[in-house]
């Protein structure tokens, strides 16, 4: 254990593990601090059928009040009792988190999309907010590098709003996806295979997907990108990476020369405080945890000369969507439709240029569609009737299920959506927690209404028949009398019920709160995700985003991290 | 996917530089669970379970009700899936953290008893369920125990289609298995919109 590391990386998810791989690859001695435990994939990721679990995947009643997720994956989620957060009265926001080695990429949706210049430079086009200080040309080499390494299955299409990359063969389409593709063609809408960090052939020593459909419970062979299968092994192989799990970063320590000296962390079990020093400090603990650390590290927030730290919080707009059946598929044979948990993507086709400009809202959204057999027939309890005829009808519809949902809808950045340290509430280790102030604006509502209309139009064109939404049984999450009805501090503002409009959902794509900017007056980070104020402090994650864009954010977060690592390595060489 | 395929993939993975620490043990540990490509049997929990939440009368009535809703016909039904046992098992486990769920179910069983379900002969029970279910299909229809019908139906549906009998034998679910390829749509008629 060196007295001083070349770099400390806080967090082991998509960005942190990439940084560890890049920095150790450049010869640096790196210490990685992970707040959660080292999990055992061989034990945790073994696939089970619901009937093998006592509570059929829902967990012992009360368990999921403490953890998000399901009985199959709650161990890779966060303990909400130990790690609370608070919200302002008008806020309805559920902050989805993981705390374990590998972070949220252990159960992510794997969507791996490049952003385009109409997103990076949106402010120049419609006058709202600020442009990103990088363009597609700046980020493209890093998209290439990451896609080449992690493996992305997709089809190159040539859509300017959905830039192509370096792809493995796409996942095949099931019958419902084929019908939706035909419907898109008929409507004149673009569509393509969903782009996924999931292998369709062996790649860099990893096996391809075996189409079991258990992605969100942790991939048991490492066919989908996650740090413990992909980025941490080569970093460990250098012999220059030390990983300390169960180590909760509490603050960044500064020296008299305005440089970060290191991190103070608290042992998760021991609750003892430990100081570690490094020449470079990289925060990659997830968007809001990064900001929390900056807020904890100095009165008024570290690296906050702009006064924008914590502000402009965003999450891509969710909610709405359509579900039902495609009559063409009704009564067909049982097929492995959900073995890839994928679908098709319908890239934005409005507000992408002057010809497609809408007068009633700015920015846009991406849709997904899929269908066919799923593990549990969510619709069945709402299907009228009972008896043998009802059973036959359930089976007949089971293979014909279909749905259209919003993959990512751009939420406009607003200064009055922000996070701060709660003055009273602390976590299990005595560290102040975040208080979230988060509401949606008019544009967000208009955008989601447009999505809803388009989703229904697509469903009708595909010949779809709508069905009522799912019903959860009593005693289970979401069901009558459910103990999970009001999860612990999971963001249901007291005034939300009196709001004039129903709350919109989020996408677990939180962004902003330490945005990048050309001028130090406008943001916390420069275009390399280096803080404007502290030269040896970098922040990797969604913090940097000046706007959400309409693409899933992980690939762009990783690309910015890779670009930042190049800058850090170059700076370290002098 | 055969065991040979899995061994080939494992060898391929282990050849990767630096992958051994995490990945080797991971992949090999995952293999036995799926190497044979069959769905495992139902555990014995419910077969051996003795009701704890419901009294004997209520449990017998519930069991009968679930079997009317999901009968044994060409495929297994609620009886083979032990749906009533599962409902009792969940409610017993819910008593401390979700007492409201227990209250709802006791109220439902009282309503069922009040309309004579417990005391009715088998054929009469079918008629009682038919009457209770009418509001589900007929706008304007009402029944004092409709809420009990809905509650039992919801939980029974969940219990059945998450059981081996419901998921594997009745629905023929294909997922959660190792597969060499994904079955692409091969229907020309799905590529055109009428």
Based on the fold, state whether residues B117 and B26 are members of the same structural domain.
no
Is A202 in Cβ contact with B12 (below 8 Å)?
yes
Give start and end residues of each alpha helix (H) in A134-240.
136-150, 175-187, 232-237
Do A359 and A398 form a contact (C-beta atoms < 8 A)? no
CA distance A14 to A263: 21
Residue A409: φ, ψ to 5°: -115, 130
Based on the fold, state whether residues B100 and B15 are members of the same structural domain.
no
By Cβ distance, the residue of B34, B93, B167 closest to A60 is B93
- B155 → chain A, closest CA residue: A473
Based on the fold, state whether residues B77 and B154 are members of the same structural domain.
yes
Based on the fold, state whether residues B113 and B157 are members of the same structural domain.
yes
* CA angle centred on B23, ends A78 and A201, rounded to 5°: 105
Q: What is the pLDDT of residue A134?
A: 98
DSSP state of A92: B
- A235 → chain B, closest CA residue: B18
By Cβ distance, the residue of B40, B86, B190 closest to A49 is B40
Fold of A167-215+314-415+441-470: Cholesterol Oxidase; domain 2 (3.30.410)
CA distance A386 to A117: 54
Nearest residue to A228 via CA among B97, B92, B20:
B20
Question: In chain B, which residues have their Cβ closer than 8 Å to the Cβ of A235?
Answer: 18
By Cβ distance, the residue of B10, B105, B185 closest to A178 is B185
Is B171 in Cβ contact with A398 (below 8 Å)?
yes
CA distance A77 to A3: 33
B4: which residues sit within 8 A by CB, 6+ positions away?
none
Based on the fold, state whether residues B64 and B120 are members of the same structural domain.
yes
Question: In chain A, which residues have their Cβ closer than 8 Å to the Cβ of B132?
Answer: none
- For residue B181, being part of any structural domain is answered with no
Do A297 and A254 form a contact (C-beta atoms < 8 A)? yes
Based on the fold, state whether residues B9 and B63 are members of the same structural domain.
no
Mutate which of B9, B173, B192 to disrupt the A interface (most A C-beta within 10 Å)?
B173
Question: In chain A, which residues have their Cβ closer than 8 Å to the Cβ of B168?
Answer: 49
Does the pLDDT value for residue B16 go beyond 80? no
Residue A465 contacts B where some CB pair is shorter than 8 Å: no
- For residue B153, being part of any structural domain is answered with yes
Q: How far is A480 from chain B (nearest CA, A)?
A: 7
The number of distinct structural domains making up chain B is 2
CA distance A96 to A107: 12
Domain residues of chain A, as ranges? 167-215+314-415+441-470
Q: How far is A349 from chain B (nearest CA, A)?
A: 21
Tokens of A429: 């280790």
Based on the fold, state whether residues B74 and B125 are members of the same structural domain.
yes
Give start and end residues of each alpha helix (H) in chain B.
3-14, 25-34, 56-69, 78-81, 83-94, 99-114, 122-137, 146-161, 164
Note down the domain range covering B9.
Answer: 3-34
Based on the fold, state whether residues B27 and B122 are members of the same structural domain.
no
- For residue B116, being part of any structural domain is answered with yes
Residue B167 contacts A where some CB pair is shorter than 8 Å: yes
Is B189 in Cβ contact with A386 (below 8 Å)?
no
Tens-digit pLDDT profile for chain A (574 aa)? 788 999 999 999 999 999 999 999 999 999 999 999 998 887 778 788 999 999 998 888 887 777 777 888 887 888 889 999 999 999 988 898 999 999 999 988 899 999 999 999 999 999 999 999 999 999 999 999 999 999 999 999 999 999 999 999 999 999 999 999 999 999 999 999 999 999 999 999 999 999 999 888 889 899 999 999 999 999 999 999 999 999 999 999 999 999 999 999 999 999 999 999 999 999 999 999 999 999 999 999 999 999 999 999 999 998 889 999 999 999 999 999 999 988 999 999 999 999 999 999 999 999 999 999 999 999 999 999 999 999 999 999 999 999 999 999 999 999 999 999 999 999 999 999 999 999 999 999 999 999 999 999 999 999 999 876 544 444 444 444 443 333 333 344 445 444 556 778 777 899 999 999 999 999 999 999 999 999 999 999 999 999 999 999 999 999 999 999 999 999 999 8
Question: In chain A, which residues have their Cβ closer than 8 Å to the Cβ of B127?
Answer: none
Question: In chain A, which residues have their Cβ closer than 8 Å to the Cβ of B167?
Answer: 49-51, 375-376
Based on the fold, state whether residues B65 and B122 are members of the same structural domain.
yes
CA distance B176 to B33: 10
- For residue B186, being part of any structural domain is answered with no
């Amino acid at each position: 254990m060196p007295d001083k590391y070349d770099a400390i990386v806080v967090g082991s998810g998509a960005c942190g593990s990439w940084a560890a791989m890049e920095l150790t690859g450049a010869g640096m001695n790196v210490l990685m601090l992970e707040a959660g435990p080292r999990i055992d994939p061989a034990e945790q990721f073994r696939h089970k059928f619901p009937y093998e679990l006592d509570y059929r995947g829902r967990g012992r009643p009360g368990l999921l009040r403490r953890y998000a997720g399901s009985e199959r994956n709650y161990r890779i989620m966060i303990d909400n009792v130990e790690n609370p957060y608070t919200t302002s009265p008008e806020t309805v926001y559920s902050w989805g988190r993981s705390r374990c080695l590998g972070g949220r990429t252990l159960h992510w949706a794997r969507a791996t999309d490049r952003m385009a210049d109409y997103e990076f430079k949106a402010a120049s086009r419609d006058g709202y907010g600020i442009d990103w200080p990088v363009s597609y040309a700046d980020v493209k080499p890093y998209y290439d590098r990451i896609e080449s390494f992690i493996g992305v299955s997709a089809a190159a299409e040539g859509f300017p709003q959905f830039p192509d990359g370096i792809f493995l063969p796409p996942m095949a389409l099931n019958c419902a996806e084929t019908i939706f593709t035909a419907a898109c063609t008929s409507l004149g809408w673009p569509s393509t295979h969903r782009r996924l960090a999931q292998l369709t052939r062996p790649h860099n020593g990893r096996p391809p997907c075996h189409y079991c459909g258990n992605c969100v419970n942790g991939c048991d062979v490492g066919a989908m990108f996650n740090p413990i299968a992909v980025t941490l092994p080569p970093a460990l192989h250098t012999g220059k990476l030390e990983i300390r799990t169960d180590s909760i970063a509490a603050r960044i320590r500064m020296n008299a020369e305005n440089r970060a000296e290191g991190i103070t962390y608290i042992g998760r079990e021991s609750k003892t405080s430990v100081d570690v020093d490094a020449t470079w400090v990289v925060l990659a603990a997830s968007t809001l945890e990064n900001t929390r650390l900056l807020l904890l590290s100095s009165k008024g927030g570290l690296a906050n000369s702009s006064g924008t730290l914590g502000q402009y919080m965003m999450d891509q707009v969710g909610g709405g969507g359509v579900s039902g059946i495609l009559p063409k598929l009704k009564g067909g044979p049982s097929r492995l439709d959900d073995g890839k948990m994928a679908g098709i993507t319908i890239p934005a086709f409005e507000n992408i240029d002057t010809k497609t400009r809408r007068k009633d809202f700015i920015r846009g959204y991406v849709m997904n569609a899929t269908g066919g057999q799923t593990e549990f027939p969510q619709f069945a309890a709402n299907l009228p009737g009972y008896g043998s005829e009802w059973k036959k009808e359930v089976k007949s519809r089971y293979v014909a299920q279909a749905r259209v949902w919003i993959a990512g809808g751009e939420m406009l950045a607003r200064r009055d959506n922000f996070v701060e340290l709660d003055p009273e509430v602390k976590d299990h280790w005595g560290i102040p927690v975040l208080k979230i102030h988060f509401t949606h604006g008019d544009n967000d509502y208009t955008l989601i209404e447009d999505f809803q209309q388009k989703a229904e139009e697509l469903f009708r064109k595909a010949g779809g028949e709508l069905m009522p939404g799912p019903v959860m049984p009593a005693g289970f999450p979401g069901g009558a009398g459910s103990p999970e009805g009001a999860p612990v501090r999971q963001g249901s503002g007291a005034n939300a019920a009196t709001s004039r409009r129903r709350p919109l959902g989020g996408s677990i794509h939180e962004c902003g709160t330490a945005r990048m900017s050309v001028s130090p007056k406008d943001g916390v980070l420069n275009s390399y995700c280096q803080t404007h104020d502290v030269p040896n402090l970098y922040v990797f994650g969604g913090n940097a985003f000046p706007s959400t864009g309409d693409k899933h954010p992980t690939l762009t977060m990783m690309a910015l991290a890779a670009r930042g690592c190049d800058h850090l390595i170059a700076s370290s060489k002098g | 996917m055969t065991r040979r395929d899995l061994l080939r993939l494992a060898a391929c993975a282990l050849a990767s530089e630096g992958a051994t620490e995490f990945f080797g043990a991971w992949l090999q540990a995952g293999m036995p669970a799926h190497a044979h490509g069959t769905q495992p049997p139902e555990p014995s929990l419910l077969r051996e379970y003795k009701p704890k939440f419901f009294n004997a009368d209520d449990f017998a009535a519930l069991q009968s009700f679930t079997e009317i809703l999901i009968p044994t016909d060409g495929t297994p039904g609620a009886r083979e899936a032990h749906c009533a046992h599962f409902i009792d098992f969940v409610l017993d486990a819910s008593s401390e953290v979700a007492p409201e769920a227990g209250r709802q179910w006791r109220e439902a069983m009282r309503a069922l008893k009040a309309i004579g379900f417990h005391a009715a002969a088998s054929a009469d029970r079918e008629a009682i369920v038919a009457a209770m279910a009418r509001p589900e299909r007929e706008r304007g229809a009402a029944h004092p125990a409709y809420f009990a019908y809905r509650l039992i139906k919801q939980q029974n549906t969940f219990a059945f289609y998450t059981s081996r009998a419901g998921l594997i034998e009745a629905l023929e679910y294909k997922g959660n298995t190792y597969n060499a390829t994904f079955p692409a749509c091969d229907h020309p008629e799905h590529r055109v919109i009428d």
